[in-house]
Amino acid sequence: MNFFKTLAVGAFIAASVSGAALAQQATFEAVRARGILNCGVNTGLAGFAAPDSQGNWRGLDVDMCRAVAAAIFGDASKVRYIPTTAQQRFTALQSGEVDMLARNTTWTFQRDVQLGFDFVGINFYDGQGFMVKRSANVSSARELNGATICVQPGTTTELNLADWGRANNIRFTPVVIERLEEVNAAYFAGRCDALTTDVSGLASVRASRAGEANQHVILPEVISKEPLGPAVRHGDNRFADIVRWSLNAMIEAEELGLTSANIESKLSERNPSIQRFVGATGDFGRMLGLDNRWAFNIIKQVGNYGESFERNVTPLGIQRGPNRLWTQGGLMYSPPLR
Amino acid sequence: MSGESPRRPPRQTLSLGHPIVRSIVWQAVILGTIGWCVWWLVANTMHNLEVRRIASGFAFLHREAGLPIGEALIDYSPENSYLRALFVGVLNTLKVAAIGIVLATILGTLIGVARLARNFLLAKLASAYVELLRDLPLLLQLFFWYSLLQGLPGPRQALALGGDVFLSNRGIYFPWVEWTAAHWAATVAALAGILASVALTRRAARIQEATGDRPHVLLPGLVLIVGLPALVFFAAGAPWRPDVPLLRGFNFQGGVRVTPEFAALLVGLVTYTAAFIAENVRAGILAVNWGQWEAAGALGLSRGLQLRLIVLPQALRVIIPPTTSQYLNLTKNSSLAVAIGYPDIVSIANTTLNQTGQAIEGIAIIMAVYLTISLSISLFMNWYNARVALKER
Amino acid sequence: MNAPAHEAVQAVQSADPPMRPPPMLQTGIVGWLRANLFSSWISTAVTLALAYLLVRYAIAFVDWAFINAVWSVPGQDTSACRAVEGSGACWALITEKHRFILFGTYPYDEHWRPALCCVIFVGLYLISANKRFWRRELALIWLVSLGAIGVLLWGGILGLTYVEQERWGGLVITLVLATFGIAFAFPLAIVLALGRRSTSLPAVRALCVVYIELIRGVPLISLLFMASVMFPLFLPEGLNIDKLLRAQVAIILFAAAYLAEVIRGGLQAIPRGQYEAAEALGLSYWKKTGLIVLPQALRLVIPPMVNNFIGLFKDTSLVLIIGIFDLLNAAKTSIIEPAWQGFGVEAYIKVSIIYFVFCYAMSKYSQRLEAELNPGRRR
């Protein structure tokens, strides 16, 4: 009789599967041991995370992943980009499929508190707005009563739109389309009177039609706050610190005037802030459990926040706006590195 | 039918080699293993839900949904509950599936017959149609149709198709009447008339079989189907307030509207499924022995009667089972609506699960809805199939 | 398959004894045209109307696709394309992005690896299509080929650099999902079909019935959602299965249910005598099934199995909804960059051609096979 054998094989398989279940250890150690950072990004959003013609990921969020990899490994290329849809992103982070999420995700109370994440900072300040065709002769969002509005589902955008309609007693017909390109195409084809998404997104959508950009108007109303930032799992403070300070280092570097091009030459500069930044003094890297040149590596390989912004976001036709440094009237502000 | 194990001479004692004992042990082992796996998965899930603080249960259904929905068969606004939002989705799925099945059957039959046509060009075009549509992913076709419909002019330059029918990238608008109780009553009367005339036809067939004389059914039938509702309608005062689409503000107001999302999904599903149904129809007609045509011809029946009385009933036996699965496929494929923005059950449940974080409940709802629809279609078609099946005596 | 109906119709209409029409060529082109295009005034009207539409749309298409088309643009400057938008195609998109559409985010310098994989896949299909290879060794060929494809794609050994799964994309993902899907679904489907037909294991039969009907009753998309958002909850903390594999598992489970029904059809078509003869020889259940029943049953159902495979091949495109870079998704992603937004039709046409070539070849093959396997059913 061979069913005892079968039974034994079954038991063995069961045991090996349960054995494979690792206790969820601290993310930092896991990343170190793996030698590569698993970073959850968008499946394709120009300027934030999208593959180029050669299949390399590029964007502001992608640079966030690269910065963390540079801090941990001293090599910005040690990132595994895991494209996630709006539905998958939270499960992916909760289940440990990704170590961090840099996926233009709005920091909200519920996500921070209920879903068990920690947002470690804000790498892009945004807000939801409307874009309409100039020919529609609309100058304020309040005139949109009866309009058809294109919106992407499954995001805060959809809910903000509904809330705003109710608060202002404006009736509208939503056209809800999953994929961003499809929503944009629907708007340009005239399927909708207005397109609503983050203002940065609107600007980039408008810029994508170079020839007819001035035929579209972004309305002055901004109906929501959309602070986008990287998120990690709740309770993993050490890894959260690393991601937080990788972001801060990029902002701080811009303030200090350090760029990927000049940081090499600033190594010997006497300015104590720069000395601390590049790891010549202060031992900050060790405190994070990293190499002391962690911040230097980020700037050398990825660049400061301004560089990343100019490289990825500016070509979309988006102004720095609130994402300027606080010294220039913006909101980008890093706590001091000391 | 297949014996599970070789027959051996029965023994007195129940040893391990005894077929019954063996089958019980085997089943116990298999069920035990599967049960253990399921238990393991459930235990993991419970643990994970707790650790990740994901709520479970269906309490969220009664919370305010807050999500806007573009088209609904019943009154809906974002203040309504998730339950109502999901119900709107179910109705939208049923709507596209029901209309799609009817249209796909008609188109599929036409194309199937066209493939057998004597006109070379028609037959070749029909077969090119079948090959092209069968061999491309439906999702791709849906994207294509949707972008095509978006290419129509905007509402202010809408194409007027005459008689207050307007075609624009906001959809097709056509006039309608303000629907009142009188209209409902007339509709019910029309249905009753149809049922009554079906009964009348059957009675006529019985009389014909018994006596050889066929009583007239055409006139009484017409009276029942047309006259009865007309009578009811006029008795109710014949309210007739036309509801004409007019361009007001951003868009047409009034009338009845078919949205581009619905139209794209419907056209995609119908043209795709029709290609498969056409093949079934063609195979069904070819499967009927042509001796049957000849025999019918020898009886002096006309071409139309040959097809209707002799060939089609036999062909249907071949056509129905595969066509049933095409109906099921069409219904399930309507879930691709999520990709082009038609608010069917999948897209609404998808948004719901994204907002509440309750993935298990969301997917369970989707599955339950489709299982119910699939089983209902299967049951109905099995019943119909049994009716047309060969009665062996 | 067309001819019999014609003959039937003719035979009935003319009430003459059935006669084969004379060969077309002998009656000349005019005779052929008269018989096939202008046989009656209805037929003539249909022919003229169809010919008019055909010519009109063909001219419009040629204008758009060839005469007014833009074949390449300098760098990312697509203003030339924008200028002809609506009246001419922007094939420059394909010129710029064809490697991205085919191979997705796979490292650019390593594109020969997925390309070679596609060649192996096609070779595998060709070998499997050849009746001379329908032997047990075929399973071995499949194992070796699939193993080789795995090695090529992942790398990490034999001097190939390691490429993580998230970077795979394009056509190769479509082929991987469909082929591995069918390869693993096949044994599972046999088990399910046998289980569903077993008489002495009622509990197992009930289980198989429930499984098959459950899976066939829900859309693939719900299984894919399950794989992408629910599956991670099923596993113990810390254990992760990557997204592609989860989608692959969903596709296998889905395909197995449909394939099981096809195989069950084959099992039912085997005459009872075969079972009884095998039992008379004293063969055990497994020997009887493995040596007598299954080989015959599987041979019978090869054409519907090929059709099943075509369906699966097309259905893999649904993984785009859960964010996997298959062929269709790569095409959609290629138009994300602002410069290229709005040229979806060109990208869709390119992938349509690829899907069509694969599916059309398979469907023609299945039709031919059907005719060969059932010569008796042909009249």
CA–CA dist B351, B68 (Å, integer): 11
Which tokens go with B73?
A: 């068969």
Nearest residue in A to B17, CA atom: A1
A218 Cα to chain B: minimum distance (Å): 17
Q: Which regions of B232-311 does DSSP assign to beta strands (E)? A: 242-243, 246-248, 251-253, 256-258
Mean pLDDT for all residues in chain A: 83
CA–CA dist A77, A13 (Å, integer): 37
Q: Tell me if A154 and B354 make a contact (CB, 8 A cut-off).
A: yes
The 10s digit of each residue's pLDDT in C4-42 is 545 444 444 445 556 666 655 556 777 777 777 777 777
pLDDT at A14: 42
Q: Which residues pair with A129 in a beta bridge?
A: A197
Query: Residue C62 falls within a domain, yes or no?
Result: no
Q: Chain B residues with CB inside 8 Å of A6's CB? A: 29
Split into its structural domains, chain C has a count of: 2
Q: Tell me if C5 and B7 make a contact (CB, 8 A cut-off).
A: no
Regarding whether C104 and C31 lie in a shared domain, the answer is no
Contacts of C163 (CB under 8 A, 6+ apart): C106, C107, C110, C113, C153, C154, C155
State yes or no: pLDDT of C137 exceeds 90: no
End-to-end CA distance of chain A: 73
Say if B170 is an interface residue toward chain A (CB within 8 Å).
yes
Q: Chain A residues with CB inside 8 Å of B264's CB? A: none
Task: Determine the structural domain holding residue C24 and report its residue range.
Answer: 1-36
**pTM score, whole prediction:** 0.81
Q: Tell me if B53 and A95 make a contact (CB, 8 A cut-off).
A: no
pLDDT at A301: 94
Number of Cβ within 10 Å of residue C207's Cβ equals 18
Regarding whether C262 and C131 lie in a shared domain, the answer is yes
Number of Cβ within 10 Å of residue A74's Cβ equals 17
pLDDT at C19: 66
Same fold, A27-123+229-328 and A126-226: yes
Cα of A57 vs its chain's centroid, Å: 13
Residue A309 — pLDDT band, cuts 50, 70, 90?
very high
From the candidates B23, B150, B250, B261, which should be mutated to test the interface with A, based on the most A CB atoms within 10 A? B250
Domain ranges of chain A: 27-123+229-328, 126-226
Determine what percent of chain A is predicted with pLDDT higher than 90. 29
Say if C54 is an interface residue toward chain B (CB within 8 Å).
yes
Regarding whether C166 and C20 lie in a shared domain, the answer is no
Regarding whether C348 and C212 lie in a shared domain, the answer is yes
Contacts of B139 (CB under 8 A, 6+ apart): B336, B339, C317, C318, C320, C328
The HSE-up count of residue A302 (CA atoms within 13 Å, CB side) is 38
Mean pLDDT for all residues in chain C: 82
pLDDT at C375: 57
Query: Residue C250 falls within a domain, yes or no?
Result: yes
Q: Chain C residues with CB inside 8 Å of B134's CB? A: 310, 359, 363
Residue B151, classed as helix, strand or coil, is coil
CA–CA dist B301, A327 (Å, integer): 95
CA–CA dist C303, A313 (Å, integer): 53
Length of chain B: 393
Q: What is the pLDDT along chain B (393 residues), one digit of tens a residue?
A: 444 445 555 555 556 667 778 788 888 888 899 899 989 888 888 888 877 777 777 888 888 877 878 788 888 888 888 899 999 999 999 999 999 999 999 999 999 888 887 788 888 899 999 999 989 999 999 988 887 787 777 777 777 766 677 777 777 777 777 777 777 888 888 888 888 888 888 888 888 888 877 777 778 888 888 888 888 878 877 777 777 777 666 667 667 778 888 989 999 999 999 999 998 988 888 888 878 888 888 988 877 788 778 888 888 888 888 888 889 889 999 999 888 888 889 988 888 887 777 888 888 999 999 999 988 888 887 787 777 766 554
Contacts of C204 (CB under 8 A, 6+ apart): B26, B27, B30, B31, C195, C198
Which tokens go with B326?
A: 């095409």
Q: Which CATH architecture has domain A27-123+229-328?
A: 3-Layer(aba) Sandwich (3.40)
pLDDT at B310: 84
Burial status of residue C115 (CB atoms within 10 A of its CB: 0-12, 13-18, 19 or more): middle
Regarding whether C362 and C263 lie in a shared domain, the answer is yes
Which tokens go with B283?
A: 């195979």
**CATH C-level class of A126-226:** alpha beta
pLDDT at A23: 34
State yes or no: pLDDT of A61 exceeds 80: yes
Q: Tell me if A176 and B40 make a contact (CB, 8 A cut-off).
A: no
Residue B112, classed as helix, strand or coil, is helix
Regarding whether C126 and C26 lie in a shared domain, the answer is no
Q: Give the ipTM.
A: 0.81
Which tokens go with A106?
A: 């709005």
The residue whose two tokens read 């060649």 is: C119
- Tell me the count of A-C CB pairs closer than 8 A: 126
CA–CA dist A267, A285 (Å, integer): 16
pLDDT at A47: 84
Q: Tell me if B341 and A175 make a contact (CB, 8 A cut-off).
A: yes
Query: Residue C218 falls within a domain, yes or no?
Result: yes
Q: Chain B residues with CB inside 8 Å of C43's CB? A: 118-119
Query: Residue C240 falls within a domain, yes or no?
Result: yes
Q: Which residues pair with B159 in a beta bridge?
A: B167
Length of chain C: 379
CA–CA dist B141, B147 (Å, integer): 10
From the candidates A53, A79, A104, which should be mutated to test the interface with C, based on the most C CB atoms within 10 A? A53
CA–CA dist C344, C351 (Å, integer): 11
H or E element in which residue C45 lies: helix C41-62
Query: Residue C53 falls within a domain, yes or no?
Result: no
Nearest to C240 by CA among A93, A86, B56, A243: A93
Nearest to C11 by CA among B11, B218, B289, B212: B289
State yes or no: pLDDT of A71 exceeds 60: yes
Q: Tell me if A7 sits within 8 A of B26, measured CB to CB.
A: no
**AA letter at C318:** L
Q: Chain C residues with CB inside 8 Å of A209's CB? A: 82, 341-342
The 10s digit of each residue's pLDDT in C309-339 is 888 999 999 998 888 888 988 888 888 777 7
Nearest to B166 by CA among B247, B284, B232, B77: B247
Q: What is the largest CA-CA distance in chain B?
A: 90
Which tokens go with B254?
A: 């009034």
What CATH number is given to the structural domain containing C228?
1.10.3720.10
Query: Residue C176 falls within a domain, yes or no?
Result: yes
Query: Residue C116 falls within a domain, yes or no?
Result: yes
- Tell me the count of B-C CB pairs closer than 8 A: 204
CA–CA dist A99, A83 (Å, integer): 13
Q: Tell me if B336 and C1 make a contact (CB, 8 A cut-off).
A: no
CA–CA dist C66, C346 (Å, integer): 12
The 10s digit of each residue's pLDDT in C209-236 is 899 989 988 999 999 988 888 888 888 7
